[in-house]
Structures are given as C-alpha cells and as structure tokens.
Structure 1
Amino acid sequence: MDYIITYSIYVLIISVLMGLTTWKLFKKMGYNPLFSFIPFYNYLIILKETNHPKWWSVLSYLPIVGPIMMSAFHIFLMRKFGKRGFVNGLLTVLLPFIFMATVNYGKDPEIETEEEEEEGKKKETFLGSVTFAVVFATIIHAFITQPFGIPTGSMERTLLVGDFLFVNKWAYGYRMPMRPVALPFLQGTIFDTGQKGNPKDDPKSYVDAVKLPYLRLPGYDEIKRYDIVVFNYPQDSVHTAIDRRDPYVKRCVGIPGDVLEFRAGRLFVNNQPEKILGDEEQQHGYIVTTSAQLDIPQLYKAYGFLPVQETQSNSGFIYIFQGLTDAIAKDIKALPEVTEIKEMVEKKGEGALRFKLNADKTAYTKNIDTTQSIYPINKPWNQDWYGPLRVPKKGDVVKLDQESLPTYQWIISEYEHNKLENKNGKIYINGQETNQYTIKQNYYMMIGDNRDASLDARFFGVVPEENIVGRPMFTWMSLQGAFKDANSSYQAPFKVRWDRMFKATNTGETNKTSYWWIAAGILILFFGWDYFAKLFKKKEDE
C-alpha cells in the first residue's frame, strides 16, 4: 500500500506540472485545456496528434521506462509546435517543464504546417528507430530479465568467470523498482572515478531523491535450498537504494529456519552433509610445493579455471591454488614435480587467516586477516569452522542480549529499518527497552561453490528477502579471459566458450537444456515488432 500511495503522489505531481506547462498547447490543438492535467490521457492525445502509436501512453508512468517515454512524448509535442533540432530536443529532455512552459506561455505558439512537419520527419526517422530500440531493451531489462556478468571465481566451476547470464526476475516474485528515475542498463554508477577516489563520489545512475518503498509481486516459485540466486550485496555502504547495490550470485545453502555449520571447510545443513548437485563442482584452496616449475598453461588447458599465485623458493616453487576440486587436487598431487600438497584449512577457534610468504621465501605463514570480519563479529569462527548458525525466519522471536545482539543488530537496524540503541547494557528498539525482537522478513544464507575464494554470507551475513533479484536462467555469452584476475600469476588466453552459450544455469543437472530458441524469439520479436508496426502505420496512412 505504501508503494501505491507514494507512486500515486509522483504521478499526481508530474500530471500537475504537465498541465501547468502545456494547457495552452492542448487548447491550440483543439482540446479542452483540462485534458493536459489527466494522467495517461494527456500523453495519448499527444501521440494521436503526432501520429505515433497511441498504446505507448500506457508506458508513460512506468518506473525507469516512464521517464524515457515521457521525454520522447515531450519532444513529439515540441516538434508539433516547430521546436525541432538538437538544441530544442536537449532542452526538452533536461529541462522539460521549464522549456515547455516557455513555449506554452510564449507569444502565440503556432502548430507546424504539414509541409514543415513532413520535412522534419525525414530528418528524424533514424532517431525514432534508436529511441524505439532503447525503450524496447529497457522494458526487457527492467521488467523481464536482466543480464549479469560473472567477474570473479566464487562460483567456479559451476559458473565460470566470463559467463554472462540472463536472470529471471519473476520466479521469486518481481521486485518493483525502488528508484524509478534512472538511466537504463546501468546498475549503481555511471562510471568509476578511479581507485583513489571515494566510491560514494562516483556519479550515480539514478536519482536518489525520487524513491519508492519496497514491494514484491507474488512469484510462481520460492527459493529452494541449493538454488543459485542473484541478489544485491546487503552491506553496500555506497548505495542507499537496495535495488541499485552491486549484484552478487551465490548458492543458497540455507533457507529460513535452517541451521548451518562448517566443519573443516565442509558444510552441514541441519546437522547433515550438504547435498551436492549434479552440476556443482566445489573447490577448496591448496598450497602446492614442487621441486620444479609447473606447466600452468598446460594445466589450464587440461582443467580450465586455475587461478594460482606462483613464487620461487630456495628449494623449488610454491603455488597457492585459489580453488581445486577434489579430483583435480588428486591429479596435481600425482605430478612428478609435486613434493607436497596441502588443503588450506584454518584452525578451529581462530579468526579469519590468510597466507603470506615469509622473508626468506621458504614457506607461507599464517596471518590474521583483520579486513575480513566473520559474521557475527563476536564469534570465534572462520570460513572453515563456522557456526552453528540458525538462518532467521519471518515470525521468529529472537532473544536479545549482549551476546546475541551482534547476530541481529544489522537485521534490526538496517534491513528492517528500526532505531536500535545499546546503552548501559540495555537494548532499545525505537525508544523502547526490550529483550526480544520479532523478525519481519525471511533471510537466506548465500555461499560460493569455490569455498576458499568467496566473499559470501560467512562474511557479510544473511541476505534479506528484499535484496533478492532473481534466478539465473541461462548463459547467453561465455568469454574466457574477459576479466583479469589480480590474484593469479597466470592470465588465461581470450576465447569464446561456445559450448556454454544459451545453456541453462540453474537446473542442478549435468546435461543442460539449450535455450537457443529464446535468443531467436527475442530477435524475431524485436525486428518483427518494428516491421509490422511500420506496415500497420503505412496501411493506416493509406
């Protein structure tokens, strides 16, 4: 209801501005000036008078798409009154209600003659085609499916670095856009100002001041244990808009109410070993000591993704493999150059550790990593010995004290938007002292398949339902070498992985369904729509 009320207020404000700045123009076109104030109908009149499809008016107030369509409709109206050309178009887009007001209240605005209109149309046919293409793609991107690239190896080898996916936004329920005024196809920022700059200073791709509350429409499925899920990073400090935070993809290993625990790097769910699906290839980090240099390019050809740090020591070479499956680790152990292979498993009760080469380059030593805080921060857990942790479920009544508060403080204050205070050993929520809290939404535990190279829920905590984007459908493009790995001494050569393209990504099965027909359907729909729209318009003109 909050979403509908806020949305209605925005529509009312825009409609009033539209009416105040165009009523005289509507009168000139032969309509009651009050029609300029009526949502949808005012744009339908503009489309009718400028010979454009009238059904486009239904797109005028949609989030993200609406501002694009409105700009196009405003340009159509300005052209009707002779305001053509690049400068006039730019002013109409950037200062719509100011520029239209200058025309509306200017000295006796005149409608173009038929000869002037025909001459202007000939020059702007290409621009109209580009606008149509942008709008069509924006509708697909914002309301149906969103493309998503895999830049890191946290889901190797299930999803490869360089895989580009289409994400189904409707499976778990479509989340309505929360920042309706935004540039299409961009996530959070327009561009990165650089490593030295503050990410908060990067130009945003959306207007943060125009915002709508969270609303999710009913879906036809629910998140199941072991689904691969795309979600917005929950602890993003740069973007306050939930739907504009960085998208992550992980496996949902814990649904609401589950109890999770890692024992020596192996996951147990509800005290049972996790289920390994047919297409899932888990990996763990290994330190490999050799007497001679390994042929990494040859290993890469044989096994694919093998990010590795190589260092020469006094007695040979030391390799840190970011992630190896059990089978690949066994093969590498059998190589004649290998003198020792050891899985990187942190000790129980220690904080998160990382490995660093010592001064004489003879071995790697363990160092406490203070940059990777384990969730919750007051537990002596690490990524290999973690839990048990119960995933919060909507309706859970949780006990609050100084021991349990770190587990729930981010949930209460950030995800469920309460004022949380911890003063003099007492806990206050919205000004009221309390020792319990009722969870308002479901939460999920998202973990990467590449267990020792994944920034996941063990570090940033449980993921709220409102951050869920959708479920990957299929890989539409796969490029080896598309992203450089700063943690690897070897960079794979660039190539197109044709065998992965248009294959399903979230089935759990080894043999993937092909979705070439969807690609063909989208192309036919796009070009066919444009062709038949022009054909229909030609018949109408005749």
Structure 2
Amino acid sequence: MNYFLTYTVYVLILSVLMGVSTWKLFKKLGYNPLFAFIPFYNYFIILKETKHPKWWAILSYLPIVGPIMMSVFHLYLMKKFGKTLFKDQFLTVILPFIYMATVNYSKDVELEDENENELFLTDEEKNTKKKDSFLGSVTFAVVFATIIHVFVTQPFGIPTGSMERTLLVGDFLFVNKWSYGYRLPMRPLAIPFLQGTIFDAGEKGNPKDDPKSYVEAVKLPYERILQFNKPQKHDVVVFNYPQDSVHTAIDRKDPYVKRCVAVAGDTFEMRAGRLFVNGKPETILGDQEIQHAYTVNTGTQLDIPGMYNTYGFLPVREMQNEKGGFTYMFQGLTDKTAKDIKALPNVISMEENIYPKDSATISYKLNADKTAYTKSVDTTQSIFPINKPWNQDWYGPLKIPKKGDVVTLNQETLPEYQWIISKYEHNRLENKNGKIFINGKETNQYTIKQDYYMMVGDNRDASLDARFFGFVPEENIVGKPMFTWMSVQGAFADNSSSYQAPFKIRWERMFKATNTGEANKTSYWWIAAMILILFFGWEYFVKLFRKKKEDDL
C-alpha cells in the first residue's frame, strides 16, 4: 500500500503543477479552469480539443511512459495557442510547467485559428501537417515499445559464460516480467530502454560518476502485484545484482541471470564442485549442462579452432610448459566434452580443477576481543560469508533465510545476515564493542522480512554467483526468460580465453524456449510471424483508413 500512496502523492503534485500553469488556457478553451487540476481528465480535454485519441490520457501518469506522454500532450496544448517555434517546443519539453505558466499568464495569448479542410491548406501547411503526423507516429511507436519494455517483457543479453551451455554467450532473451508477479517500477522518471546509466565512462572513470538514466530523488517503494508463483528450484531467473554499489535503486541494479538452485528454507552445499540441496545431489534437467574447469597437458598443440566448430563455446588459456609440451586451462567443460578431450591421442594428462577443502578464496579471522575481522589472504574474490573457510567447490552447508525466520545474531553469525538487515531490509545496523544494535536497540536476534534465494551459474567454475555475493532477495527478482530471440556467436569479447570464437548467427537457437527443462525446446517462430503480420497489417489498414477519409473530403 505504501507504493500506491506514494504514487498518488506524486500524481497530485503533478496535477497541481499542471493546473497552476494552464488553468487560464483551459478557460480560453471553454472549460471550467478547475478541470486543469483533475488528473487524467485534464489531458483528456487536451486530446479532445487537439483531435487526438482520447484514450491516450490513461498513459499520462504511468511510470516512465507518463513523462513522455505528458511532454507530447503539453506540445499539443502549446500548439493550440500558436507556440510552434523550435524554442517554444524545446522549453515546453525541458521546463514544462514553468514555460506553460509564462504562456498561461501572458495577456496576449490567444487560441490559433485552424483550417479544418485540407483543400484550403497551403503547401507549407500541408508539409508541416505531414511532418507532425510522421513525428506523432514515431513518438507513438517509441511509447508503445516503452510500454512493452516496462510493463510486459524486457530484452536481455548474455555477455558471459556463467550459464553455458544452457544459455550461450551472445544469446539475446526476452524476460517475462510477470512470471513471479509484476514488480512495479521504483524509479518512475527515467530514460526508456536504459538500465542504470546513460553511458559508461570506461576503466579510468569511477562508475558511480557515470550519468544515471533515472532520477534518483523521485522514487517509489518496492511492491509486487499478482504474485501467483515464486521462483522454484531449477528455474532460470533474471534478477538485479544485490551488491551493486553503483545504483541504490533496486530495479536499476545490473541484471544477472542464473539458475535458482535453492529456495527459502533450503540448505545449500557444494562438495568437491558438486551441488547438494538439503543433503541430496541436484537434479540435472534436460536442457541443463553442468560444467567444470580442467587442466590439460599435451605433447603437441590442440586444434582449438576445430574444437570450437565441434563444441561451440570453449574458453581456454594456452601456454607452453617446461617439458616442451602445452598446458591448457579450460574454463568450463561438460562431462561429455571432457571425456572426448581426454581421449585425444596427444593428451598426456587431464585433471579437474577443485579447490582444497577449508581453503577460502579470502579468509577473515575474528580478533581476540571479538570486535572485528582481519583479512588473512588478499585475492580479488571473496566467498560469502566472509568469516567461513569455504570456497566455490567446498561450500556450506548454508541455510537460505525464509520470511518469518527468527535468526540468532552474534559476532559469528552477523556476516551472514548483515547485508539482509542493513541493505535489503533497510535497517540501521551497528556493531559496537561486541554488541549488535538494530535501529538503536541492542539485540541478539532478527526476524527475516522476505524470502531469499540461492542463484548459481551452470558453468560452476566461471560464475560470479551467490557463493560470492550471497542471498538474492525476493525484491530483486525481475522474471523468467521466455525464449531466445537472437543468438550471435562472437557478439561479446571473451577475456577468459586465448582464442576468440568466430562471428556467426546461431539460427538453430533463435525463438527457442529457455526454461522448459527439456532437451528439445519449444519453438516460438510463430510469435515472430505474428508480430510481422500485425505490424504490416496495421500499416495497411491505417493507410486504407486515411485514403477513405481523404476521398470523403
């Protein structure tokens, strides 16, 4: 309810601004000036008077879409009063309520006469009308695409190999935002189609300084509607990266895609690189191919380009060894691919890369006074939680928090729950002199407010996943991939490999379903055909309607 209350406040503020800046103009149009203050109805009147579809008024206050439509409606209103120069249009878009107020309170502003019959229009007026019609069509196309992007489905590209070979590098997916209930937009004032930033300043710049694609100050609380399902074990899920330090807005954090391997209440564990949930080995689905890293020693060079043609994605580092042969560090091989490579005649030895047990990638030790942790190993990655001697191959057991769970807090358990308490559930957490304070009150327990999930990549040794960044909150869940609409090998540079895959379009993957659990995936080519038929069919009927209207005149 907080979401809708906050949303209503924003609508009322915008309505007051609209009314204050246009009430005299509404009076000149022949309406009660108070109508300028009424949400939706004020824009309904503008559309009616400017002879545009009146149902567009329902788009005026929608998140992200609304600001675009408001700008369009404001332009319509200003044009009605003769403000058609570029400077008028520019100021109407950039400073809408300020510029419209100057027009509203101007003494010489009057309604502009309009020629209803095109037979009496000059060539210049006809060209202007055609230009306006074209711009209107482009604007509506952008708005329609924005509505689909914001409220229905969102495109998503796979730039890394963490989900190989279930999802390939260069796959482009459509994500169903209603799979687990629709998460309402939390930053309603934003540039369409951009996730977090307008552009990336690059390695030299601080990512926090990159220009944001949204207005941080205008925000709405988390709310999800029509949630009939929650993520289940084995689902491939798109979510916002929980520990994104650049963006505080949940829905603007970087999108990730992994497999949900454990849900709230489950116990997750890795034993020698193999995954266990509640003490049982994971179930491998038909479209899931688990991979692991291997070191291969050979007497002569391997035909890596040939292997790419046979196996597809195959990131590998090649180096000469001291014995005159070659050593290959394969980032991720399936059991079948590993068996095939081991059988090659020039392979001398092959070993799966598994971290030793109780050797953390980064190890932290509690001080003698039990007030702080000291880092004992300095590497580039940290296992979650920081005080456990775990690594990506030997991990857990770790219980996934569930809404309503009451967890014990002490210096040993705090690293496991500190992000949940302070970042995900928005409390003020303090750890002073060995005592834990939440919102100013000393405590030794905490009640979990939402469900959490464990998201892990199928390419287990090349995946930045929940083993490193921890639990994924329910509020970060975006949805479930529906199908791959495009797949391009070589679309993204692979820094993990000495060899870059050649560029090619994988036609066999296009418009194929992702989350089926079946080896033979459902084809959605019929959706592409339907979109083309609707698009060209719509264009045909619009042209036919316009021709009939012109003939009637």
Scaled by the length of structure 1, the TM-score of the pair is 0.95
Paired letter, 1:70:
M
Q: Does 2:201 align with 1:187? A: no
> 1:107: Cα distance to partner?
2.9
Q: For 1:250 and 1:45, how far apart are their aligned partners in 2? A: 48
Q: Secondary structure at the match of 1:321?
A: strand
Q: Secondary structure at the match of 1:91?
A: helix
Tell me the residue number matched to 2:40: 40
Q: Does 2:59 align with 1:59? A: yes
Q: For 1:190 and 1:484, how far apart are their aligned partners in 2? A: 21
Distance 1:212 1:527, change over 3 A: farther
| CA deviations over 1:27-49 (Å, ceiling 9, x no partner) | 11111111111100000000011
Out of 394, 408, 415, the position equivalent to 1:406 is 415
Tell me the residue number matched to 2:442: 433
> 1:129: Cα distance to partner?
1.1
Q: For 2:43 and 2:259, how far apart are their aligned partners in 1? A: 45
Q: Secondary structure at the match of 1:350?
A: coil
Tell me the residue number matched to 2:9: 9
Q: Secondary structure at the match of 1:511?
A: coil
> 1:88: Cα distance to partner?
2.4
> 1:112: Cα distance to partner?
2.1
| CA deviations over 1:252-305 (Å, ceiling 9, x no partner) | 000010001100000011000000000100100111111111110000001110
- Asked if structure 2 preserves the Cα contact closer than 8 Å seen for 1:351 and 1:369, the reply is no
Q: For 1:389 and 1:303, how far apart are their aligned partners in 2? A: 35
Distance 1:100 1:243, change over 3 A: same
Q: For 1:439 and 1:505, how far apart are their aligned partners in 2? A: 32
How many residue pairs get aligned? The number is 529
> 1:203: Cα distance to partner?
0.6
Tell me the residue number matched to 1:490: 499
Alignment of 1:373-452 (within 5 A): 373-452=382-461
Tell me the residue number matched to 1:360: none
- Asked if structure 2 preserves the Cα contact closer than 8 Å seen for 1:146 and 1:167, the reply is yes
Q: Does 2:486 align with 1:477? A: yes
| CA deviations over 1:132-167 (Å, ceiling 9, x no partner) | 110010000000000000000000000000000000
Q: Which runs of 5+ in 1 are unaligned?
A: 354-366
Paired letter, 2:202:
G
Tell me the residue number matched to 1:101: 101
Distance 1:173 1:23, change over 3 A: same
Tell me the residue number matched to 1:332: 341
> 1:20: Cα distance to partner?
0.8
Tell me the residue number matched to 1:468: 477
Q: For 2:154 and 2:231, how far apart are their aligned partners in 1? A: 18
Distance 1:140 1:524, change over 3 A: farther
Q: For 1:535 and 1:416, how far apart are their aligned partners in 2? A: 56
Q: For 1:208 and 1:146, how far apart are their aligned partners in 2? A: 21
Q: Secondary structure at the match of 1:513?
A: coil
Paired letter, 1:20:
V
Tell me the residue number matched to 1:250: 258
Out of 126, 133, 155, the position equivalent to 2:134 is 126
> 1:530: Cα distance to partner?
5.7
- Asked if structure 2 preserves the Cα contact closer than 8 Å seen for 1:16 and 1:37, the reply is yes
Tell me the residue number matched to 2:76: 76
Distance 1:501 1:331, change over 3 A: same
Tell me the residue number matched to 1:208: 216
> 1:119: Cα distance to partner?
6.0
Q: For 1:99 and 1:119, how far apart are their aligned partners in 2? A: 27
Q: For 2:172 and 2:378, how far apart are their aligned partners in 1? A: 32
Q: Secondary structure at the match of 1:114?
A: coil
Paired letter, 2:354:
V
Q: For 2:176 and 2:228, how far apart are their aligned partners in 1? A: 11
> 1:104: Cα distance to partner?
1.2
Q: For 1:146 and 1:526, how far apart are their aligned partners in 2? A: 19
- Asked if structure 2 preserves the Cα contact closer than 8 Å seen for 1:156 and 1:281, the reply is yes
> 1:219: Cα distance to partner?
2.6
Tell me the residue number matched to 1:520: 529
- Asked if structure 2 preserves the Cα contact closer than 8 Å seen for 1:170 and 1:220, the reply is no
> 1:536: Cα distance to partner?
6.1
Paired letter, 2:75:
I
Q: For 2:179 and 2:506, how far apart are their aligned partners in 1? A: 27
| CA deviations over 1:324-348 (Å, ceiling 9, x no partner) | 0111111111112211111110000
Q: For 1:526 and 1:181, how far apart are their aligned partners in 2? A: 29
> 1:535: Cα distance to partner?
5.9
| CA deviations over 1:496-535 (Å, ceiling 9, x no partner) | 1000000000011001111122223334444545655676
Tell me the residue number matched to 1:217: 225
Q: Secondary structure at the match of 2:487?
A: strand
Q: For 1:480 and 1:195, how far apart are their aligned partners in 2? A: 25
Q: For 2:42 and 2:265, how far apart are their aligned partners in 1? A: 51
Paired letter, 1:451:
R
Q: For 2:377 and 2:334, how far apart are their aligned partners in 1? A: 26
Tell me the residue number matched to 1:358: none
Paired letter, 1:414:
K
Q: For 1:19 and 1:215, how far apart are their aligned partners in 2? A: 30
Tell me the residue number matched to 1:137: 145
- Asked if structure 2 preserves the Cα contact closer than 8 Å seen for 1:310 and 1:489, the reply is yes
Aligned identity (percent) is 75
- Asked if structure 2 preserves the Cα contact closer than 8 Å seen for 1:60 and 1:66, the reply is yes
Paired letter, 1:12:
L
Paired letter, 1:311:
M
When the two chains are superposed, the root-mean-square deviation of aligned CA atoms in Å is: 1.7
Tell me the residue number matched to 1:177: 185
Scaled by the length of structure 2, the TM-score of the pair is 0.93
- Asked if structure 2 preserves the Cα contact closer than 8 Å seen for 1:84 and 1:120, the reply is no
Alignment of 1:504-515 (within 5 A): 504-515=513-524
Q: Secondary structure at the match of 1:178?
A: coil
Q: For 2:16 and 2:276, how far apart are their aligned partners in 1? A: 58
Which segment drifts farther, 124-133 or 458-467?
Answer: 124-133
Tell me the residue number matched to 1:293: 301
Which segment drifts farther, 250-259 or 311-320?
Answer: 311-320
Tell me the residue number matched to 1:362: none
